Structure 1
Amino acid sequence: MSDKELAKKIVELVGGKENIVSVRHCATRLRIVVSDKEKIQVKEVEALDKVKGSFFNSGQYQIILGTGLVNRIYDEVIKITGGPDEGQVEEKKEVVYGNKFQRAIRMFSDVFVPIIPVLVATGLFMGLRGLLTQQAVLGVFGMTPEDIPASLLTFTQILTDTAFSFLPALVCWSTFRNFGGSPVIGIVLGLMLVSPSLPSSYDVGSGVADPLVFFGFIKVAGYQGSVLPAFATGIITAKFEKWLRKHVPDALDLIVTPFITLFVGIVMALFVLGPILHYVENGVLFVVENLLFLPMGIGGLIYGSFGQLLGIFGIHHILNFLEISMLANDGWNYLNPIGTCGNVAQAGAVLAVAIKAASNKTKQVAYPSCLSALLGITEPAVFGVNLRFVKPFIMSMIGGGIGGFLASLFHLKATGMSITGIPGTLLYLNEQLPIYIFVNVVAFAVAFILTWLFGFNKKMENAA
């Protein structure tokens, strides 16, 4: 079945384009908001070729397709539906969008998911740079770190530093895009937050430079590496721009609206939102990092065990903000290694189910789900198998907790985000790689053994 044919069938089976309010996608799932949930033919959707499962969450019908494919199917669906109608979305949001908390979490997802691929690439560049500058690797070629040309090191810094140096521009662009503002204004506003005319936040933090002082008490510096100030500024300024366009005469819109929008946005960002939210952001990071670094690996045990529940409730995308902030602040992601153990544990549990299952249908779902989870895509394993039988999911929580406990004890930290399992090894191409492999093998083995012994039997399969 071609991408076009699959998209057409999906649209038909969710009730036709007249039943679709809006369509979005994340890294693996097509997310559809519909007018009437009862019109969706769930079994028929899940029976389609290349569809790995589906579920409802936060007012969205989410179809699991996998990385790469989901982008192509989304493009084809948009061609059929013509894209979401903003007025219709606003009119129906109380009915189809869930409660305020669910909408807030989805808002984080819609803003941060589009910029994740760039940050993933940056993380891989960081990992490769770490590999190529290791003494052991260079020694194979009879070289030392001093033999690496300065120009080559500068080139690698361009690859690894650019995205995070201009992170507010990416965040503002995506926020404007999602809240109906002009994305190009969002980019410029974000670039203003990291303007070379402002002392860099890194320099101010290290004491190399002093912040600018306005009105005798407001200290202003660049917002390199900050996420929350750019996010809040983007939301408010995008809404302000939309309001302006309704009130500024058409003849003056081209000149007046961008001018006032940028001026109000940067004043608000530098003098009001930025100083306040920067402290809030640092406070959140402080709390999370202290939780993860609780003594004796307790933080890793807690997050490794219960972090897997976040995906079920649809609130895991809020972690994107934390991971991006960690990487932007000191270049390391402390959540990734612990979260990876949870994903790999799902693979261990689902493999035990696949081997023990009597039903060919269960095996056909479980075996590919194991490989998918090892590649970092856990939705087929979670929603297609482990959560369906309940106990395998509990065993995976235990396996993930033990793996996270070990990862925390060994102080594992990633150079990037959003890839886990086997592809995630690219984020640990330094002295951490053997430890990364070890903790994940433990997580996988614990979940597999516990599921094999206590988490699954034929009686459970027949009941399901």
Structure 2
Amino acid sequence: MASKYDGLARIIIQNIGGKSNVISVTHCVTRLRFKLQDESKANTDILKATDGVAAVIQSGGQYQIVIGNQVAAVYDAVCQVGHFSGEKALAEQPADKKLSPGAALIDLISGTFLPVLGVLSGVGIIRGLLAVASFFGLLSATDGTYVILNAVGTSFFYFLPIILGMTAAEKMGGNKFIGISIGCSMCYPAIVDLSGMEALGTAFEGTIFATPYYTTFLKIPVLLPSGGYTSTVVPIIVAVFFAVKMEKLLQKIIPDVVKMFFVPLFTLIIIVPVTFLVIGPITGILCALITQLFNTVFGVSGLLAGAILGGMFQVFVIFGLHWGLTPLALTSMAAVGYDNIIPTAMPAAFVQTATVLAVYLKSKDEKLKKVALPAVISGLFGITETAIYGVTLPKKKPFVISCLASAVSGAIMGALGVKRYSMGGLGIFALATYLNPETQSFYDVGWSIVAILVGMVVSFAITFITYKDEPVAEKAAVEE
């Protein structure tokens, strides 16, 4: 079926080097994310000048084309016109095309979390709204309505290892059902319930790593985190990484006639015990250390930590590095029940929106105003790429102002120790996730609103006072 974005799709495909240059394509909230055989074949300048393209970013081993709110429709048109199969690999990646460790990590994280981000946000909003409904007495925890909606909002997080087992396996080129099976074993009720039983003994007794164990495998103690591996993130991704390596090795040495069931058999029978005996405990210790590190940093100076994260967040967005915060936030939630990392960056979207609003009201450039108004609307819902690439970054000074004002908001959030208790939506929808479901305290919600308003007022006022349209002559010269 023809789409109004077919023309744009053809221009994009032509100027990324053609279909044969594409390894894979997917999209996030505002961007088309290509992995290309050779990025030098792409006509970046032509793409940047194309109507419907806000910007082009080359980061993390990906060729990212920023579209904006219409990205899903443009993605569908690109797949239709190019006969692409989406996230699946479209061509073999050249053997000599290797990413740097940092780029590979960001690519892995974004590829694992992007497919589930929308649902992750949606169920997080449900949890937040249930907390609000409970606080105001609209629902009680025993109401059937609450129980069913809570199942929707909670189960996705509870079984997150199963879901990430699938997406991580697909991202790494493995069998997604093997990834799912590893995740299922980690969430199996009999395993989860072990940590509530009487301990059989203590491993590493007398050291800082002393850990009680509740069962053994071949007489080897199995060390489980408190509450098991439900809602965890890092162990399953690392386990799938080794599972995919094992699977590919077995594919080479097992005869074709028995590959179908022997490859999964040997992969699972090796990797699942290794996960419980080695991968899980090691990643658990590393995650605990990382969580403790962030808590220590925020304990020493939450104001400084918040200012840095808040001020830099929009820069992270430009290069797609903000995805690196997602597993850290989920790890913190699984370990201590809350996240204090992303809250410092949450006001940045509102601050960016206030900056664009000031430009919209002050500017007499009708073309700029047509871009700015939709950017203000989408910014309130946490989507700031249109604001950044369409308004503030090209003008430079407004972007700097928004970053500095976001640092102020982040400093407030960090200094007051504001926390969120669930992954949730972006923008105004995120506020519901800051209501403490245990105490039903509005402390974190209230101070979040204060920090947002302070940053918005500072950014709006400075931008409104200092902003000036470019001289007409200068604009004409640029257009020539």
Question: Structure 1 pair 419/204, CA: closer, same or farther in 2 (3 Å)?
Answer: farther
Q: Map 1:255-334 to 2 at 5 A.
A: 255-295=261-301, 297-334=303-340
Displacement, 1:19? 3.1
SS in 2 for 1:377: coil
SS of the residue aligned with 1:63? strand
Alpha-carbon contact 1:169-1:188 (below 8 Å) kept: yes
Which digits, 9 at most, give the CA deviation of each residue in 1:23-51, with x for residues without a partner?
A: 122222101233253542544565334x4
Q: How does 1:148-227 map to 2 (within 5 A)?
A: 149=142, 151-200=144-193, 203=196, 211-214=214-217, 215=219, 217-220=221-224, 222-227=228-233
**Structure-2 change in CA distance of 1:450 and 1:200 (3 Å):** farther
Structure 2 CA distance for aligned equivalents of residues 450 and 239 of structure 1: 54
CA contact (8 A) 1:124 1:415 kept: no
State the partner residue of 1:31. Answer: 33
Amino acid paired to 1:421? G
Cα deviation 1:400-455 (Å, max 9, x = unaligned):
11112222344332343363322323434662444333321211111122223346
What are the superposed Cα offsets for residues 179-202 of structure 1, whole Å, 9 maximum, x if unpaired? 111111111111101221214487
Please say if residues 31 and 71 of structure 2, whose CA atoms lie closer than 8 Å, have aligned partners that are also in contact: yes
For residues 126 and 373 of structure 2, what CA distance do their matches in structure 1 show? 32
| Aligned partner letter, 2:51 | L
Cα distance between partner residues in 2 of 1:258 and 1:54: 41
Residue correspondence of structure 1 range 68-147 to structure 2 within 5 A: 69-79=70-80, 80-83=82-85, 85=89, 88-91=92-95, 93-94=97-98, 99-134=100-135, 137-138=136-137, 145=140
Q: Secondary structure at the match of 1:197?
A: helix
Question: How far, CA to CA, are the matches of 1:78 and 1:292 in structure 2?
Answer: 44
1:79-129 deviations in Å (ceiling 9; x for gaps) = 4243465653234624xxx53322221111111221222321221121111
Hey, what's the Cα distance between the residues in 2 that align with 1:414 and 1:46?
Answer: 40
- What is the DSSP-based 3-state SS (H/G/I as helix, E as strand, rest coil) of the residue aligned with 1:416? coil
Letter aligned with residue 56 of structure 2: S
- The worse-fitting range, judged by mean Cα deviation, of 117-126 and 414-423 is 414-423
Aligned length: 450
SS in 2 for 1:198: helix
Partner residue in 2 for 1:445:
457
CA distance in structure 2 between the aligned counterparts of 1:85 and 1:427, rounded to whole angstroms: 36
Partners of 1:245 and 1:187 in 2: CA distance: 19
Q: Would the aligned equivalents of 2:306 and 2:414 in 1 still touch at CA under 8 Å?
A: yes
C-alpha distance 46-30 of structure 1, shift in aligned 2 (>3 A): farther
Provide TM-score, normalisation by structure 1: 0.86
In the alignment, structure 1 segments of 5+ residues that lack a partner are: none
Superposition deviation, residue 296 in structure 1: 6.2
Residue aligned with 2:25, SS: strand
How far is 1:229 from its partner?
A: 1.1
Amino acid at match of 1:114: P
Note the aligned Cα RMSD (angstroms). Answer: 3.2
Matched-pair contact (CA < 8 Å) for 1:11–1:17? yes
User: CA 1:377–1:92 in 2, change beyond 3 Å: closer, same or farther?
Assistant: farther
Of 47, 50, 55, 2:50 maps to 47
- Contact residue 300 and residue 404 of structure 1 kept, 8 A: yes
Contact 1:212/1:220 (<8 A) preserved:
no
Asked if 2 retains the 8 angstrom alpha-carbon contact of 1:347 and 1:373, the reply is yes
Q: Which amino acid aligns with 1:255?
A: F
Whether contact under 8 Å (1:225, 1:329) holds in the other structure is: no
- 2:425 alignment counterpart: 419
Query: How far does residue 217 in structure 1 lie from its aligned partner after superposition?
Result: 4.7
CA distance in 2, matches of 1:169, 1:110: 16
Q: 1:294 to 1:152 in 2, by over 3 A?
A: farther
Could you say what secondary structure the match of 1:422 adopts? helix
Provide the residue aligned with 1:389 in structure 2. Answer: 395
Q: Assess, with a 3 A threshold, how the Cα gap between structure 1 residues 213 and 427 changes in structure 2: closer, same or farther.
A: same
Task: Choose the corresponding residue for 2:351, options 323, 345, 351.
Answer: 345
User: Which runs of 5 or more residues in structure 2 are unaligned?
Assistant: 200-211
* Cα distance change, pair 296–32 in 1 and its aligned pair in 2 (3 A): closer
When normalised by structure 2's length, the TM-score is 0.83
- Structure 2 CA distance, aligned partners of 1:287 and 1:225? 21
Shift of 1:256: 0.7
Deviation of 1:358 (Å): 4.5
Is residue 54–residue 62 contact of structure 1 (8 Å, CA) maintained in 2? yes
Q: Of 61, 64, 73, which residue of structure 1 is paired with 2:63?
A: 61
Paired residues of 1:168 and 1:225 also in contact (CA < 8 A)? yes
> Higher mean Cα deviation, 245-254 or 293-302?
293-302
| Native 8 Å contact 1:120 1:416 kept in 2 | no
Secondary structure, aligned partner of 1:317: helix
Aligned partners of 1:357 and 1:461 also within 8 Å: no
Look up the SS of the partner of 2:34 in the other structure: strand
Contact 2:314 2:403 in 1 (8 A): yes
The whole-number CA distance in structure 1 between the counterparts of 2:4 and 2:112 is 30
